[in-house]
Amino acid sequence: MSGIGISRRGLLAGASAFGTTAALSACGAKTGSATSSSGAKADTSGDTVKVGLLNSLSGTMAISEVTVHNALLLAVKEINAAGGVLGKKLKPISQDGASDWPTFAEKAEALITDDKVVATFGCWTSASRKAVKPVFERYKSLLFYPVQYEGLEQSPYIFYIGATTNQQIVPALDYLKKQGLTRLYLVGSDYVFPRTANKIIKAYAEANGMTVVGEDYAPLGSTEFSTIVNKVKDAGADAVFNTLNGDSNVAFFKEYKSAGLSAKSLPVLSVSIAEEEVKSIGTQYLEGQLTAWNYYQTTPGAANTEFVKAYQAAYGADKPTSDPMEAAYISVYLWKEMVEKAGSFDVAKVKKASAGIELDAPEGKVTVDGTTQHVHKTARIGKIGADGLITEVWNSGKPIKPDPYLKDYDWASGLS
């Protein structure tokens, strides 16, 4: 483990030094020709084309993003083994965003201008996506983003392969309502995603006869939850809607259990805990609790069996697959389909060809929506089992049309 770590760091040191020079030269290019995107022309001349993989391989987000990076590499490897795209092999160029948003922007620019990649896959946090968005728009280059997010965004140069709110949060609320759990307590980390998500939840609750009995935010990384849990206990809630991120979940669920609360007495529905996180939080604290995603390792279907088998063969039999990993994996395949339909790597042609692209993905059938550049996805509610895997207890039956601005919901009209 540590041996691999050292060699990888060596590589990273090289990569980051390389990234800096690339960014510097890019700066020079920018001042030379302010609006021209000549530096951004993807290089498709050889018999290989480069694709950018932009993830945090170090820093606090590495836990999650390394798994996404692994899934991307797996997809590239499989596509190459099957002959590549338009007869050209893909050469993955990995850049480390290092959990630092300015670094993400810098590395994105290096990938586009220096490596001349044909497309980039990656990012996790909304903050990193917001940081790279202007870069991809300036150079008219494509980013495929694999994680569920808070919606209310649409960039012509980003394909959103994870769920938007109407494919995760709204179905989760529908599910709770159907179970008769109408008094909600909202607990979240204090940053953009939970605050936006809770704004949506409150608007939904008001229109659907549900009550939000309390709302609390803890600073990111906070580990002191005794008061919040006391408040939850006293508020007379039927369920907790949890948008906590990362480590805070560990402290929260430990406190939850020692306060005598459980999935039976007061269920918690989480939107940021997937298989990887379940393992590190500890199943004894999470057993029976609910999650909302579009994919679980246990999702039935031949495509998923194959995906899980391939992933575990490549990275270890005990490694779980998760929703963001699956979205990352299919994002490469979706791009491949778009390119082949367009018959070209040209960004404008690929975008035009994207509408209606379909894939039998591990999560089930997905279809690209050409206007919003999001994906039709099936919503799934799961229950965490004692083995750390999540079993589906409900799904939407068919893929849900993406609606990032929640235009189809009257109650959401005041949101922006």
Partner 1 sequence: MTVILNQSFTGISIGAVLLLIALGLTLTFGQMGVINMAHGEFIMAGAYTTYVLQKDISGAGISLLVALPLAFLVAGGLGALLEWLLIRRLYTRPLDTLLVTWGVSLMLQQLARDIFGAPNVQTHAPDLLTGNISVGGITFANNRLFILGLALLCVLGLTLILRLTPLGRRIRAVVQNRDLAEVSGIATGRVDRMTFFIGSGLAGVAGVALTLVGPIGPTMGTNYIVDAFLVVVVGGIAQLKGSVITAFALGVLQSVLEYSTTVSVAKVIVLVAIVAFLQWRPQGLYTLRTRSLA
The piece of 17-25, 203-211, 253-261, 298-306 that touches partner 1 (CB under 8 A) is 253-261
- Does 4 contact partner 1 by CB under 8 A? no
Binds partner 1 (CB under 8 A): choice among 12, 86, 152, 259? 259
How many residues touch partner 1 under the rule CB under 8 A: the total is 37
> Judged by CB under 8 A, does residue 257 bind partner 1?
yes
Between 216 and 340, whose beta carbon lies closer to partner 1?
A: 216
Using CB under 8 A as the binding rule, the residues of this chain from 120 to 179 that contact partner 1 are none
The single residue among 86, 250, 314, 355 that binds partner 1, judged by CB under 8 A, is 250
Q: Which residues pair with 242 in a beta bridge?
A: 187, 270
Per rule CB under 8 A, is residue 7 in the interface with partner 1? no
3-state SS, the chain, equals CHHHHHHHHHHHHHHHHHHHHHHHHHHHHHHHCCCCCHHHCCCCCCCEEEEEEEECCCCCCHHHHHHHHHHHHHHHHHHHHCCCECCEEEEEEEEECCCCHHHHHHHHHHHHHHCCCCEEEECCCHHHHHHHHHHHHHHCCCEEECCCCCCCCCCCCEEECCCCHHHCHHHHHHHHHHCCCCEEEEEEECCHHHHHHHHHHHHHHHHCCCEEEEEEEECCCCCCCHHHHHHHHHCCCCEEEEECCCCHHHHHHHHHHHCCCCCCCCCEEECCCCHHHHHHHCHHHHCCCEEEECCCCCCCCHHHHHHHHHHHHHHCCCCCCCHHHHHHHHHHHHHHHHHHHHCCCCHHHHHHHCCCCEEEECCEEEEEECCCCEEEECCEEEEECCCCCEEEEEECCCCECCCCCCCCCHHHCCCC
- Is residue 1 involved in binding partner 1 (CB under 8 A)? yes
Tell me if 281 sits within 8 A of 273, measured CB to CB. yes
Which of 43, 206, 224, 306 forms a contact with partner 1 (CB under 8 A)? 224
Interface residue with partner 1 among 281, 292, 338, 350 (CB under 8 A) is: 281
Phi (first) and psi of residue 293, to 5 degrees: -150, -175
CA-based nearest residue to 384, from 302, 279, 249, 313: 279
262 touching partner 1, by CB under 8 A: no
Q: How far is the CB of 320 from partner 1 (least distance, A)?
A: 13
Rule CB under 8 A: say whether 208 interacts with partner 1: no
Nearer to partner 1, 218 or 290 (CB): 218
Minimum CB distance to partner 1 smaller for 127 or for 259: 259
284 lies in the site for partner 1, by CB under 8 A = yes
- Contact region for partner 1 (CB under 8 A) — 139-147, 279-287, 371-379, 400-408? 279-287
Residue 272 CB, nearest approach to partner 1 (Å): 15
Q: Which span (45-53, 245-253, 319-327, 387-395) binds partner 1, by CB under 8 A? A: 245-253
Residue 110 CB-density burial (10 A; 0-12 exposed, 13-18 middle, 19+ buried)? buried
Check if the beta carbon of residue 338 is closer than 8 Å to that of residue 330: no
Query: Which residue among 110, 210, 218, 266 contacts partner 1 (CB under 8 A)?
Result: 218
Per CB under 8 A, 222 contacts partner 1: yes
**Does 202 sit near partner 1 (CB under 8 A)?**
no
Instruction: State in angstroms the smallest separation of the CB of 216 from partner 1.
Output: 6
Asked if residue 265 binds partner 1 (CB under 8 A), the reply is no
Q: 117: which 2 tokens?
A: 């990649």
Binding-site string for partner 1 from residue 82 to residue 121, where x marks contact by CB under 8 A and - marks none: ----------------------------------------
Stretch of residues binding partner 1 (CB under 8 A), selected from 143-151, 198-206, 216-224, 351-359: 216-224
End-to-end CA distance of the chain: 46
Which of 78, 216, 238, 287 touches partner 1 by CB under 8 A?
216
The 36-75 contact track toward partner 1, x by CB under 8 A, reads ----------------------x-x-xx------------
Q: How many CA atoms lie within 13 A of 277 on its CB side?
A: 26
Nearer to partner 1, 141 or 189 (CB): 189
Q: Enumerate binding residues for partner 1 (CB under 8 A).
A: 1-2, 5-6, 58, 60, 62-63, 190, 216-219, 221-224, 226-228, 230-231, 233-234, 247, 250-251, 254-255, 257-260, 280-282, 284
